[in-house]
Amino acid sequence: MPTWSNEKNPRYLLADDPTPKPEPTKQARINSPQIQNLLDWLVNHWTKTTVTAREIYTYGPNSIRDKKTTLSLAEVLVEQGWLIPTETHQRNMREWKIVQGPILRRL
């Protein structure tokens, strides 16, 4: 089946278009200042051992107070090992356990 496109409107490209699309780099997403702000808030300001998405976008840093941003940043922190997803009673609720780093003590 031939592929066709409307050159004036690129949204009409078909799914089997052979031109490769560049993928966004994960490295840029991992080092974003928003992730650093969220991690700083979780480790230094949040006193509970778990946190929900609602708590992050209610009490968290101002720059990430929307649901979409909160969930995507939490997903990155899960990949990095700072958050562990936990089971919830509601299927639409997201909750994570915060992994505290090792405590260094002087001997």
Q: What is the pLDDT of residues 34-48, one digit of tens each?
A: 999 999 999 999 999
Q: Give the pLDDT score at 107.
A: 47
Task: Output the pLDDT for position 28.
Answer: 46
Q: Are residues 56 and 68 in contact, defined by beta-carbon separation less than 8 angstroms?
A: no
Phi, psi of 96 (to 5 degrees): -135, 150
Cβ neighbours, 10 Å, residue 86? 13
The answer to whether the CB of 18 falls within 8 A of the CB of 3 is yes
Averaged pLDDT of the chain: 79
Sign of CA dihedral 55, 60, 64, 66: positive
Domain segments of the chain: what residues?
24-98
% of residues, the chain, pLDDT over 70 = 64
Which of 1.10.10, 2.60.40, 1.10.287, 3.90.1200 is the CATH number of 24-98? 1.10.10
